[in-house]
Structure 1
């Protein structure tokens, strides 16, 4: 095989990178039509536009063979989806993409890095272990119908003034920093707002931020038609965090209803036992589950007392 070249993704790479992503996942999962994977969702374009320098492609003989994306959440780094064309599986393409991704994490000086992968695939787990990632708890990707309208007091980030947006982002940073030092979702908040993928929902208690949720809505986002995907959400830590989390889930359901969406999708690491149990009690049910892998091999913010939604896909 000729040399594998890793470079930054360009706008013109998006159609082929998207095609390969669908083909790779659809083939791995054994779908009758591999290209049907993820329906009308868009992981590739949205993640590229969120942070172009953190989007990578692997090129062989001048053609795109795979891609990967790094997500910068302050002191935390996440990557994916990492996909390689099936014609080039087991030929070192994923390893080269990971080498470059680790370089990005080093530049960002992240303290904790993670990924979501298939728990049943020893090949995937073994590959990531070579880069210092270790399997820990399961992550459940859960969903529920939007079957009732909540009486929720919420603020939509998109409706704030520029000055109010700056204040809200700073408040979100302070809230997440109290959960894990340096955890900062500003890039996700800004990306959703700039690309008009959905909205960030803010809830308050006595004038102080009680929780927030970054939500993707419908086709062309990181979910498909009819769905509200809660990519990240968390409630203020400390006494009353479970109640604040419930209030945030109420706000997400109210927001989803206002957008005419039929289902809410949200992931939760099962190490966050309180959040996981609360979601089950609210009739969220697991659709798929995978394993969260951490570098270094420590909990990070996946702790029992943390009421937080994400899934690292």
Structure 2
């Protein structure tokens, strides 16, 4: 069937479970997992994102059959897409191009300044496809894991404990969310994680870890953990984290690492965090703590500009 017979629109609620299955099958097949459907275990990159107001999930269909999706996420003036996945029997039939055309249209409607994606650095096929849509490969992004020593003591009872967003009442919680917005805006104009933060809090798919010095927000981390979340039951997935820049940024970043490691240790789980190698000092600091690189991809940008993947940015993310 020619590509013109495939149609792209927003996903339907009734298709979300099937979309999750396609994500697992597509990546598991590409990576050679013996049972592709086991890919990612109990982690779920589809359902919580579909429930988030800053996310659109595009669906490709043949007739009434869902054959592929692309998840499009907005963080203020920046947006990224992925996972883009298609049923293996529909690979190389133009479905990805149709999804990408709709993705670019979505970015244009949003009016974002900068967009990106994470893809397999070793795959000439993937990199070439995205270059056709104006994306350019820049620095590598490493997905790292670390298992802190388990410590079931509640965070609130620890010395120098970080603050959890979930522990705050409505008014101070809102002040904390706005402080996160101001911190990210200083790193890159318009970068805004407030919708992501609100979604995590509303869905209870994790928590936001906050560190302060004399009442001033030093850093925050959006940590996905728990049943039905992007981290699942066994992982604290740091989807985004940032420390305030300027003098002392490196030390604030170290404090941020201490904070979300403490969060993970209180739950007896490992940490997974993505770091772009353009953020050289931050990269060196996290590696020096014993984080191991388990997966490596390349960040592709549109336009070809550094954004917040730069040496003075103390940010953790991976655009998957």
Q: TM-score range by the shorter chain?
A: over 0.9
Specify the alignment match of 1:49 in structure 2. 51
Among 179, 183, 204, the residue aligned to 1:175: 183
**Aligned CA distance change for structure 1 residues 158 and 255 (closer, same or farther; 3 Å):** same
Question: What's the counterpart of residue 117 of structure 1?
Answer: 119
Displacement of 1:224: 3.1
Alpha-carbon offset, residue 246 of structure 1: 0.6
Contact 1:192 1:198 in 2 (8 A): yes
Q: In structure 1, what is the Cα distance between the partners aligned to 2:129 and 2:160?
A: 44
Contact 1:8 1:52 in 2 (8 A): no
**How far did residue 9 of structure 1 move?**
1.0
Runs of 4+ off more than 4 Å: 148-151
Is 2:285 the counterpart of 1:283? no
Partner of 1:244: 252
For the Cα contact (< 8 Å) 2:55–2:73, is it kept in 1? no
Distance change in 2, residues 1:83/1:152 (3 Å) = farther
Are 1:71 and 2:95 matched, yes or no? no
Higher mean C-alpha displacement, 208-217 vs 146-155: 146-155
Moved more, 44-53 or 197-206: 44-53
Q: Is the 8 A contact 2:71 2:82 kept in 1?
A: yes
Equivalent positions of 1:78-117 (< 5 A) are 78-117=80-119
Normalised TM-score (structure 2): 0.95
Alignment of 1:263 with 2:270, yes or no, is: yes
Distance 2:215 2:245 in 1: 16
The separation in 1 between residues aligned to 2:259 and 2:301, in whole angstroms, is: 30
Deviation, 1:172, is 0.8
Structure 1 residues without counterparts, runs of 5 or longer: none
Structure-1-length-normalised TM-score = 0.97
Distance (Å, rounded) in 1 between the aligned partners of 2:293 and 2:225: 20
* Residue from 14, 17, 28 that aligns with 1:15: 17
Question: Which residue of 2 is the match for residue 153 of structure 1?
Answer: 161
Q: Does 1:308 align with 2:315?
A: yes
Deviation at 1:292, TM superposition (A): 0.4
| 2:136/2:300 contact within 8 Å kept | yes
Q: SS of 2:309's equivalent?
A: coil
CA distance in 2, matches of 1:237, 1:52: 25
Report if aligned partners of 1:152, 1:251 keep a CA contact under 8 Å in 2.
no
Query: 1:177 aligns to what SS in structure 2?
Result: helix
Match of 2:211 among 203, 207, 213: 203
Cα shift at 1:148: 6.1
Return the match for 1:222 from 230, 247, 250.
Answer: 230
Q: How far off is 1:253 after superposition?
A: 1.1
How far the C-alpha of 1:152 sits from its partner, in A, is 3.7
1:166 is the counterpart of 2:174: yes
The answer as to whether partners of 1:142 and 1:285 remain within 8 angstroms in 2 is yes
Distance 2:49 2:138 in 1: 25
Report if aligned partners of 2:144, 2:274 keep a CA contact under 8 Å in 1. Answer: yes
Query: Structure 2: how far apart are the matches of 1:273 and 1:226?
Result: 29
Q: Quick one: structure 1 residues 305 and 219, their matched pair in 2 at CA, closer, same or farther if it must change by over 3 Å? A: same
Residue 254 of structure 1: how far off its partner (Å) = 1.1
Q: CA deviation at 1:250?
A: 0.6
Aligned length: 312
Deviation (angstroms), 1:302: 0.7
